[in-house]
Amino acid sequence: MPEGHTLHRLAGHLTEAFAGRPVRVSSPQGRFADGAALVDGQVLAGAGAWGKHLFVAFASGLRVHVHLGLIGQLDVHRGLDDVPAPQGAVRMRLVGEDPDGGWALGDLRGAITCAVLTPEQVEAVVRTQGPDPLRPGSDPDLAWQRIRRSRKAVGALLMDQKVLAGVGNVYRAELLFRHRTHPLRPGATLRSGQWEAMWTDLVALMHEGVRTGRIDTVRPEHTPEAMGREPRKDDHGGEVYVYRRTGQPCLVCGRPVRTEELEGRNSFWCARCQPTFRSRAVG
């Protein structure tokens, strides 16, 4: 589930469903029982995200800090009848009254972080994060200054949350494909115009992700309808060029998509469309 778009989308859903009203906070699973007690019954002021970090603010000023990690999920539902019993390991449960007389429910499972923080502690977390393409006013030059000075692979730099906040393995692979850039190319070999184009593209792609809840990165001419191919059936749902398409033909040139580990995560690319920086052909 979770790259930056997921957290920004959740922040919106939580604000919509709970803001301005008191919320019951509990930990059916028990592991967040102490934290839940600190904010239980308070008015939920709103929720926001920075990169992959989600912050839920309460009237007292305390915030619940959530990081979903690789496998966490936060499901927000509304209903009219009885609130359903918790299913599985629900670390945190939010229950609010819906303005229409029903209820709103938020169930958090599998998170790597769920903790109550003071505003100062939230600031400290945010200071560890690079600019977030989904936050208005983010400065792409902060990321560029790190990228242009680094000999590390651009595929690693894009996933480094201190450099750039919110990009994960899917957006990384797809952004590099769309910009015909090999994942192992050193950051310092990029030109500023290439980074500007990548940032602009990320802003658009990730906003689309917030809107739809999926990661779709293929251009109109490469959609299943345009190409007469089967739509992707996968847990992340979106239409992509290379992410987890190892061995399948590149949608642009037909060569099999390649994969290799880069800093512990699978990296996917097309050897023809994303030539190495050394052998990159002209034209």
Partner DNA sequence: GTCATATGTGGAG
Partner DNA sequence: TCCACCTATGACC
Active-site positions?
Answer: 2-3, 52, 265
The amino acid at residue 139 is: D
Q: CB neighbours of 59 closer than 8 A, spacing ≥ 6?
A: 42, 43, 44, 45
* 263 touching DNA, by CB under 7 A: yes
Q: How far is the CB of 169 from DNA (least distance, A)?
A: 4
* 132 touching DNA, by CB under 7 A: no
Sign of the dihedral defined by the CA atoms of residues 79, 114, 60, 57, in that order: negative
Residues numbered 54-113 forming contacts with DNA, rule: CB under 7 A? 67-72, 87-89, 91, 109-112
> Binding string to DNA for residues 139 to 178, with x set by CB under 7 A, is what?
--------------------x-x------xxx--------
Among residues 128 and 248, whose Cβ is nearest to DNA? 128
* 124 touching DNA, by CB under 7 A: no
Residues numbered 201-230 forming contacts with DNA, rule: CB under 7 A? 215
The Cα–Cα gap between 220 and 270 comes to 19
Q: How far is the CB of 175 from DNA (least distance, A)?
A: 13
Query: What does 25-78 look like in DSSP terms, one character per residue?
Result: EE-TTSTTHHHHHHHTTPBEEEEEEETTEEEEEETTS-EEEEE-TTT-EEEEEE
Among residues 196 and 263, whose Cβ is nearest to DNA? 263
The Cα–Cα gap between 97 and 170 comes to 36
Q: How far is the CB of 220 from DNA (least distance, A)?
A: 22
Among residues 22 and 86, whose Cβ is nearest to DNA? 86
Task: Output the CA angle 172-140-51, nearest 5 degrees.
Answer: 55
Q: CB neighbours of 84 closer than 8 A, spacing ≥ 6?
A: 105
Write out the residues near DNA by the rule CB under 7 A: 1-3, 6, 29, 31, 51-52, 67-72, 87-89, 91, 109-112, 128, 159, 161, 168-170, 215, 235-237, 244, 263-266
